[in-house]
């Protein structure tokens, strides 16, 4: 197992995802002689996990069962221990595409935070690219290093413990892309430019408040960035039970009906920044009355050069 390569069987030292059921899962470090408690009973690693295939059904001591899944950055994002607020896969996907990341890309990131985005970036740039990530909080930087080691990706990432706004990324003229998720990204734009390759590159900054976005846009323009674009992506998840139920209903009544709006549910992630955006969008006027409801799932603004 590794986060950048699929393996078939579960091995000692692997990080595996225990899938309990609908949206309920947690990560586990596989170790000989260890046990893990679940609501369905005990999983004994030596007997129940090691040597089994990823994707197997494992019966726990109380007779209940769980699935053991191969880790991916997306599963990790849903299960990692939060040390900060994190970016979720919806935002990560658009960031990855807009930064034009691919195997071999050199990326700079700050801050590392809980490493949600970092894992996704490493996955995309492996095996020949590299991630330089900067985190000014010493404990968080340490923890991130430890996780990268455990996940078998330490050779693809360099964690630097410094203030990106003051000291930059610790590298110059090598990056294809820079990503910023810090409170004052405008203070780091100069350093971002220094980190990017001389022939150019792409930059993206993530901010929850429009005021931050405005200051960042001005700073980007000042440093000669072009093609500045601000965007926002919202995820809507259609509730499983209701969807399935609706479909059965359709069959039974032999009539095709339009999906009623009330059956559409919002996404799975409760998000503390929501309040802020309700305020913001209301202030924005014209489109707001329509947007507020849709924004219950807001993840912030993404700027792409």
**Window 251 to 280, contacts with another protein (CB under 8 A):** 253, 255-257, 259-260, 267
Nearer to another protein, 103 or 279 (CB): 103
User: Site residues for another protein, window 42-71 (CB under 8 A)?
Assistant: 53-57, 67-70
Q: What is the dihedral of CA 83, 123, 213, 165, to 10 degrees?
A: 70
Q: Is 249 helix (H, G, I), strand (E, B) or coil?
A: helix
- How many residues of this chain bind another protein (CB under 8 A)? 79
CB 114 within 8 A of CB 92: no
- Least distance between another protein and beta carbon 165 (Å): 21
Q: Which candidate, 72, 70, 64, places its Cα nearest to that of 43?
A: 64
Nearer to another protein, 12 or 235 (CB): 235
CB 26 within 8 A of CB 34: no
Nearer to another protein, 37 or 214 (CB): 214
Say how far apart CA 15 and CA 2 lie, in whole Å. Answer: 8
Say how far apart CA 107 and CA 199 lie, in whole Å. Answer: 15
Stretch that binds another protein, among 134-142, 153-161, 242-250, 271-279 (CB under 8 A): 242-250
Nearer to another protein, 73 or 111 (CB): 73
Say how far apart CA 7 and CA 213 lie, in whole Å. Answer: 42
Instruction: Judge if the upstream peptide bond of residue 2 is cis by omega within 30 degrees of 0.
Output: no
- Least distance between another protein and beta carbon 302 (Å): 10
- Least distance between another protein and beta carbon 245 (Å): 5
User: Site residues for another protein, window 152-211 (CB under 8 A)?
Assistant: 198-200, 210
Half-sphere exposure of 178 (CA within 13 A, CB side): 31
- Least distance between another protein and beta carbon 142 (Å): 27
User: Site residues for another protein, window 16-35 (CB under 8 A)?
Assistant: 19
Residue 11 binding another protein, by CB under 8 A:
no
Q: Is 252 helix (H, G, I), strand (E, B) or coil?
A: helix
- Beta partners for 17? 27, 69
- Least distance between another protein and beta carbon 273 (Å): 16
Number of Cβ within 10 Å of residue 222's Cβ equals: 11
Nearer to another protein, 125 or 134 (CB): 125
- Least distance between another protein and beta carbon 20 (Å): 10
Terminus-to-terminus CA distance in the chain, angstroms? 36
Nearer to another protein, 12 or 20 (CB): 20
- Site map for another protein, 92-131, x if CB under 8 A? xxx-xxx-x-xxx---------------x--xx-xxx---
Stretch that binds another protein, among 35-43, 136-144, 161-169, 240-248 (CB under 8 A): 240-248
Question: Could you tell me which residues come within 8 angstroms of residue 153 by beta carbon, excluding any fewer than 6 positions away?
Answer: 2, 3, 4, 119, 122, 126
Stretch that binds another protein, among 32-40, 88-96, 110-118, 138-146 (CB under 8 A): 88-96
């Amino acid at each position: 197992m590794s986060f950048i390569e699929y393996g078939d069987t579960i091995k000692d030292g692997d990080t595996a995802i225990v899938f309990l059921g609908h949206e309920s899962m947690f990560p586990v470090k596989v170790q000989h002689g260890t046990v893990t408690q679940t609501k369905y009973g005990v999983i004994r690693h030596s007997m129940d996990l090691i040597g089994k295939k990823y994707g197997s059904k494992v019966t726990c001591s109380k007779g209940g069962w769980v699935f053991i899944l191969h880790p991916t950055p997306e599963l990790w994002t849903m299960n990692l221990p939060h040390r900060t607020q994190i970016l979720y896969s919806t935002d990560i996907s658009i960031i990855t595409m807009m930064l034009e990341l691919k195997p071999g890309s050199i990326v700079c990131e700050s801050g590392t935070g809980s490493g949600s985005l970092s894992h996704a970036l490493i996955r995309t740039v492996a095996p020949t690219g590299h991630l330089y990530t900067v985190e000014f909080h010493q404990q968080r930087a340490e923890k991130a290093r430890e996780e990268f080691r455990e996940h078998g990706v330490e050779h693809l990432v360099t964690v630097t413990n410094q203030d990106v706004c003051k000291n930059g990324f610790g590298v110059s003229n090598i990056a294809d892309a820079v990503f910023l998720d810090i409170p004052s990204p405008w203070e780091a734009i100069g350093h971002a430019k220094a980190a990017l390759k001389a022939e150019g590159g792409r930059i993206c900054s993530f901010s929850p408040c429009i005021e931050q976005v405005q200051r960042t846009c001005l700073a980007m323009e000042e440093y000669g960035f072009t093609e500045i674009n601000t965007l926002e992506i919202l995820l809507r998840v259609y509730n499983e039970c209701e969807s399935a139920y609706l479909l059965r209903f359709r069959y039974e009544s032999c009539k095709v009906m339009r999906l009623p709006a009330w059956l559409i549910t919002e996404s799975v992630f409760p998000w503390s920044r929501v309040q802020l955006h309700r305020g913001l969008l209301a202030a924005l006027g014209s489109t707001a009355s329509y947007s507020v409801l849709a924004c219950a799932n807001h993840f912030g603004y993404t700027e792409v050069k």
